[in-house]
């Protein structure tokens, strides 16, 4: 029995984790700085500070993480 594991190497990922768009010349892929998954540029429009400090740098995050992080901080 030669069971291969199903980990997908970075290069083999050809679709956005979120919307399923194929990556390509017009669909550059980006890493979410929070969950570290790969997404197309459309799904990583969010920019948010990962810490509560006033001067915390804003980093690129995916839509999913942006929503989650904003909720975690409380809406205000
Ligand atoms: Zn996408
Ligand atoms: Zn994310």
Please list all protein residues whose beta carbon sits less than 5 angstroms from ligand 1, which is an ion.
16, 18-19, 21, 39-40, 43
Q: What is the CATH number of the domain that holds 22?
A: 3.30.40.10
Cα→Cα distances 28→5, 6, 38, 72, Å = 27, 24, 10, 29
Greater model confidence, 2 or 45: 45
- Kindly state whether residue 7 falls inside one of the protein's structural domains: no
How far apart are the CA of 51 and the centre of ligand 1, in A?
25
The pTM is what?
Answer: 0.69
pLDDT digits (tens, 9 = 90+) for 26-72: 888 899 999 999 999 999 999 999 888 889 999 999 999 999 988 88
Enter the tokens of residue 10.
Answer: 């970075």
- Kindly state whether residue 2 falls inside one of the protein's structural domains: no
Rounded to whole angstroms, how far apart are CA atoms 43 and 61? 8
Domain count along the chain: 1
- Kindly state whether residue 3 falls inside one of the protein's structural domains: no
Domain coverage including residue 17 = 13-73
């Amino acid at each position: 029995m030669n069971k291969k594991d199903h980990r997908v190497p970075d290069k083999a990922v050809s679709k956005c984790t979120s919307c399923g768009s194929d990556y390509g010349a017009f669909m550059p892929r980006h890493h979410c700085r929070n969950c570290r998954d790969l997404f197309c540029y459309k799904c990583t429009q969010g920019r948010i500070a990962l810490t509560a400090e006033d001067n915390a740098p804003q980093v690129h995050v995916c839509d999913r993480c942006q929503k989650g992080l904003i909720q975690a901080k409380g809406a205000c």
